[in-house]
Structure 1
Amino acid sequence: MLGKGLCGAVITAVALGGCGVQTPQPSGIDDPYESSNRSIHAFNKGFDEVVFKAPPGKPRSIDNRFTRSVSNVGSNLGLPGKVVNSVLQGRPEPAVKNTFRFLLNSTIGIAGIFDPAGAAFGLPAEYTDFGETLAVWGVHEGSYVELPFYGPSTTRDAIGTAVDIVMNPVGSVFRGSDAVGATTAQVAGKAADRKIYGDAVESILYDSADSYAQARLLYLQNRRYHLAGQENNDADAWDPYSDPDN
C-alpha cells in the first residue's frame, strides 16, 4: 500500500565482500522512469482513496487502543527480520536490542499486543531492512521507483523489499494456517500504521499540488538522512531540513 513508503518517511542482493563499506551519499533526484512511476502512483493513490482515505468531516488519523494494538502486533512480527539484517550489517547492538524487544513483547506483551519493551524497559524498535543492508555493503541507491501498493522506493530498496519478504524468519517458523495468520497480522499492522499517521499521509496525497513529486522528495530525503545517520553514527548526518547557508 502507498502508505507504507510514506509512513516510513513520515515517521523511516549484492554482497561486496563484507560489511562496513561506505557508500557515497547520493544527491538530487534520479527518476528516469517517471512516466511509469506516475502511472503506478496514480494506481496507488486510487487504491488508498478507496480503502483508507477518511470521509469528509471525519478525522484523517485514528490513533486509539485498537489501532495501536494491531500496529504493535505487526511491528513485533517484523522484529526477527530486523535482527537478521542488523547481523548482516555487522551491527550487534541493534540486533540484541530488537531480540530482547521481541522476547518481551511476545511474552509479557501478549504476542505483541502491548509494548512493555518500550514503555517499561526503554527498548524502542531499531528500524532497519535489507535495503539498508545493501547500502552498508556498498550497493548504490539507483533510480527512484514507485512500487505497486508499497509506494516510494529506489532500485536498491526495491530489491531489499523483495529479499525481506523472502527471508522473513516468521515465514520459516510458521506453517499452514499459522503462517497465513502471521502474514495477515503484518499486513493489518501496516494498515493500522496508515490510519495512525493518516493526517500526514493524506496531506501529501490529497493536499499537495503534485502528490507524486512531494512523496518522492519526502521519501528520498528521509531515506538518505536515515542511512547517513547510520553510517556516520549520527555525528555528521545530512539533515534535509537544515538551512544550507549555515
Structure 2
Amino acid sequence: MSHSHDGTTIKRGLLYRLIAVCLIIPTLVLATGCNGVKSQAAKDFAPQSAQPAKASPDQPAAANLDQPAKASPDQPAAANLDQSAGASPDQSVTANLDQSAGASPDQPGQVGSDQAALIQATAEQTGQDEASPFDDDDLYDAPPPPVHDPLQGWNRFWFTFNDYFYMGLRPLAMGYKKAVPEFARTGLKNVYDNFTFPIRFLNALLQLDLTKAAREFGRFMINSTFGVGGLADLAKSDPNLQPGDEDFGQTLGYYGMGEGFYIVWPLLGPSTARDSVGMVGDIAANPLTWVFGLWNVYGEENYWYVSYVVSGGNRFNRLPEYLDNYDAMKKSAIEPYVSMRDFYIQYRQGRIEQ
C-alpha cells in the first residue's frame, strides 16, 4: 500500500508541475518579447495609464513639432525631434539615434519602437535599405567568360575593312534614305522577310517550339494574303504574332553546341564558328536558293546571280538603319572592335536563351 501511495503522490506532483509550467510559459510570453522588451500583447493588456502617449505613425514629426511645450524628460523621442527641427534630415535622424540610447529605462518598449522608426526613416531619407550589403547578389555575379578570339589579327583587319567600306557607302545610303520614303523601304523589308519565312519556321520546329512555329506560319498566311504578298506587316498588330528571328545558329546553340571562336567575315560582319555553320543551313533553307540557285549547274542557262542581287539589295535597303546603330556604338565605345565583339556574343547568347 505504501508503494501505491508513493506512486500516486509522484504522479500528482508531476501533474502539478506540468500545470505550473503551462501557466508560467504563456505568462512569460505575454509579458516579454524574445528581444527583452515588452511585446505588443503586453502593451495591449497593460493598464491605460501605463501606456505612453504615441503619435500617429503617419505624422510622428508633425505631431511633436506642433506641441513642443508638452515635451517632457519622460518623452525623449519627442524632445529629440523638437531639438532637431532646424537641422538637416540626415543630421536630425543621426542625433535622434544617438540620443535615444540614453532614454529612460522605464520605457523599454518605447525605446525599441523609436529606434525602429528612426532606422526606417534613415533608410527612406538616404534611399538605402536596412538589408546587409552581403545580401546583394549582384556583387557576387560571375563576370561573363572571355570571348575566344584566336584569329584577332584576321578579325581586326576585316573589321577595319568593313568599317571603311560601309563608311564609304554612307553618302549613297543617306541619299537612298532621302530619295526613298520610309514606308517604301519598310515595305521592301517586309516582302523579303515574308519570302524567307521558311528559315524561321523550320528552325522553330527544330527547336521543338510549336508556339513559335505556329506564329511564323500564321504571320506568313496573313501577310501573304491581306498584306499583299508581305508588303504590309498586318500580323504585327496582333501581340501574339510579333516577328521572330530564328536561324540555324540559334538551333545549334539550343542543342548545346558552343559558339566556338569569334570571326569577322568580309562584308558580312561579326560571327562565330557556330553561326558560320548555321549560315550554311540558312542559305539551304532560303527559297531564293531553290528558285534561282547559287551557281550555274552543268552549264545550263539560269539566273543564279539573282539570289545574290536580291540578298545584297535587302542588305542595302537596311543599310541606313545599320549605319545609325553602328555610329551610336562607335561614339560610346573606347575600343570599337572589342565593343562590337562583346555586344555580338552577348546578343547571340540572349537570343539562344529565349
> Same fold per TM (> 0.5)?
yes
The counterpart of 1:135, out of the listed 253, 264, 269, is 253
User: What does the per-residue CA deviation read over 1:1-53, in whole Å, with 9 as the maximum and x for residues that have no partner?
Assistant: xxxxxxxxxxxxxxxxxxxxxxxxx7221111111001111111122112236
The counterpart of 2:275, out of the listed 146, 157, 160, is 157
Report the equivalent of 1:111. 229
Tell me how far apart the structure 2 counterparts of residues 55 and 82 of structure 1 sit (CA, whole Å): 28
1:188 and 2:313 are equivalent in the alignment: yes
Kindly state the Cα deviation for residue 82 of structure 1 after the two structures are TM-superposed.
0.7
Q: Match of 1:152, SS?
A: strand
Tell me how far apart the structure 2 counterparts of residues 141 and 223 of structure 1 sit (CA, whole Å): 9
The two structures, once aligned, show a CA RMSD in angstroms of 3.0
Tell me how far apart the structure 1 counterparts of residues 181 and 216 of structure 2 sit (CA, whole Å): 24
Report the equivalent of 2:155. 37
Q: Match of 1:153, SS?
A: strand
Aligned pair in 2 of structure 1 residues 223, 185: CA closer, same or farther (>3 Å)?
same
**1:19-58 equivalences in 2 (<5 Å):** 27-52=145-170
Tell me how far apart the structure 2 counterparts of residues 55 and 171 of structure 1 sit (CA, whole Å): 27
Tell me how far apart the structure 1 counterparts of residues 317 and 169 of structure 2 sit (CA, whole Å): 12
Gaps spanning 5+ residues in structure 1: where? 1-25, 231-246
Kindly state the Cα deviation for residue 102 of structure 1 after the two structures are TM-superposed.
1.3
Normalised TM-score (structure 2): 0.51
Report the equivalent of 1:220. 345
Tell me how far apart the structure 1 counterparts of residues 220 and 327 of structure 2 sit (CA, whole Å): 31
Aligned pair in 2 of structure 1 residues 180, 109: CA closer, same or farther (>3 Å)?
farther
Contact 1:71–1:192 (CA<8 Å) still a contact in 2?
A: yes
Contact 1:74–1:190 (CA<8 Å) still a contact in 2?
A: no
Amino acid at match of 1:88: L
Number of residues paired by the alignment?
202
User: When you count helix as a share of all residues, which structure comes out higher?
Assistant: 2
Tell me how far apart the structure 2 counterparts of residues 142 and 182 of structure 1 sit (CA, whole Å): 29
Tell me how far apart the structure 2 counterparts of residues 173 and 88 of structure 1 sit (CA, whole Å): 23
Q: Which has the higher contact order (CA 8 A, sep 6+)?
A: 1
Q: 4+ residue stretches of structure 1 with deviation over 4 A?
A: 53-56, 173-177, 179-183
Report the equivalent of 1:12. none
**1:76-87 equivalences in 2 (<5 Å):** 76-87=194-205
Kindly state the Cα deviation for residue 190 of structure 1 after the two structures are TM-superposed.
2.7
Amino acid at match of 1:200: N
Q: Match of 2:229, SS?
A: coil
Q: Match of 2:264, SS?
A: strand
Kindly state the Cα deviation for residue 144 of structure 1 after the two structures are TM-superposed.
0.9
Report the equivalent of 1:200. 325
Contact 2:173–2:320 (CA<8 Å) still a contact in 1?
A: no
Amino acid at match of 2:318: D
Contact 2:250–2:351 (CA<8 Å) still a contact in 1?
A: no
Amino acid at match of 2:185: T
Kindly state the Cα deviation for residue 136 of structure 1 after the two structures are TM-superposed.
1.6
Amino acid at match of 2:336: S
Normalised TM-score (structure 1): 0.71
